[in-house]
Amino acid sequence: MGKFGGAELNYHSDLDLLFLYTADGGTFHRRRTARSAETTSNQHFFSEQGQRLVKLCAELGPQGRLYEVDPRLRPTGKSGRLATSLTEFLRYFQAGEGQLWERQALCRARVITGSPAASAAALETIHRAQYAIPWRPEFSREIFGMRLRMQEGATEWNLKRAAGGVVDIEFLVQLLQLKHGADLPSLRQPNTISALDALRAAGILSPEDWTYLSTSYQVLRSIQGRLRLMNMSALNDLPTQPGELSKLAQFLGYPDRDKLLTDCRELLAENRLRLEHVVIES
């Protein structure tokens, strides 16, 4: 899920993971002995396997930990079971228990491991869950409300959550995927740039909007990447210290920090105007 699902990991990104298994039942040890003859439920087995993976990734070694794993996007959140069967996963969304933001998050989902048959079944289940509830006009307002809540507390120089930031483009793409993806499977792309390409090919985005949004997204992510390479605590905010801002400008090939600030200000402002235009048009 998330940046990992979209194959868009950045420096300091965590891994948003779901653990799904094909069906309920029992799991035996491969080498059955008197001690291992008993079965354990698939739910217990795959939850334990997931816990081991989370622990392994989080263990601190001589060079730090491998990844921080975030499994909270699973049904029922951090209080729910770590591993979920495909049947239960689909039932959760078809019964209307899944929130709009959860179906929106599924726009970034992809299968990263599993047998070919299990992977295909998982991906089909994810898509059925994603479009379990037909699109309604009020969903646009709800997604816009979620976006505004994410903006609260962000500085004007937050490249991710400020008005016109990375999240604006991602939310627009996911809104259009939820709106049209049930009828157009080609739009079901977890990668943002690939999804923008698919939206253009389907005629939902004009060539001009596609060019602008693709370029803007890549520029913002490029600045984010260099910012995070500087190993600063604020991973999405432009530096406030002149020296750090000058260093970032140098990394990006800008002549000076003032030019970087001017370009970022204009880019964020134009992004918000362009996004409002696209939402109205679509």
CATH number at residue 149: 1.20.120.330
- Tell whether 34 is covered by a domain: no
Instruction: Name residues whose C-beta falls within 8 Å of residue 182's C-beta, 6 or more positions apart in sequence.
Output: 131, 134, 135
Q: Give the pLDDT band (50/70/90) at residue 31.
A: low
Per-residue confidence (pLDDT) for residue 32, from 0 to 100: 58
The mean pLDDT value for 230-249 works out to 84
* Residue 172 C-beta-side C-alpha neighbours within 13 Å: 29
CB of 250 closer than 8 Å to CB of 260: no
- Tell whether 33 is covered by a domain: no
pLDDT (tens digit, 9 = 90+) per residue, 87-108? 999 999 998 888 999 999 999 9
CB of 1 closer than 8 Å to CB of 16: yes
- Tell whether 32 is covered by a domain: no
Q: Give the pLDDT band (50/70/90) at residue 281.
A: low
8-state DSSP, 115: -
Region of 11 on the Ramachandran plot (φ > 0 left; ψ -120 to 50 alpha; else beta) = beta
Residues 121 and 144 in one domain: no
Residues 199 and 177 in one domain: yes
Domain boundary among 107, 130, 153: 130
CATH number, position 115: 3.30.460.10
Instruction: Name residues whose C-beta falls within 8 Å of residue 197's C-beta, 6 or more positions apart in sequence.
Output: 189, 210, 214
Enter the pTM of the model: 0.87
CB of 166 closer than 8 Å to CB of 221: yes
- DSSP per-residue string spanning 27-63: E--SS--TTT-S-EEHHHHHHHHHHHHHHHHH--BTT
Structure tokens at 57: 């990734």
pLDDT (tens digit, 9 = 90+) per residue, 150-205? 888 888 889 999 999 999 999 999 999 999 999 999 999 999 999 999 999 999 99
- Tell whether 275 is covered by a domain: yes
Calculate ∠ Cα 18-26-38, nearest 5°.
130
Residues 166 and 204 in one domain: yes
Q: Residue 78 sits in which domain range?
A: 2-27+39-130
Residues 126 and 146 in one domain: no
Domain boundary among 130, 157, 192: 130
For the chain, the domain total comes to 2
Q: Give the whole-angstrom CA distance, residue 31 versus residue 14.
A: 36
Residues 195 and 267 in one domain: yes
Residues 104 and 178 in one domain: no
- DSSP per-residue string spanning 200-242: HHTTSS-HHHHHHHHHHHHHHHHHHHHHHHTT-S-SSBPPSSH
Domain boundary among 100, 130, 160: 130
- Tell whether 175 is covered by a domain: yes
Residues 103 and 214 in one domain: no
- Tell whether 222 is covered by a domain: yes
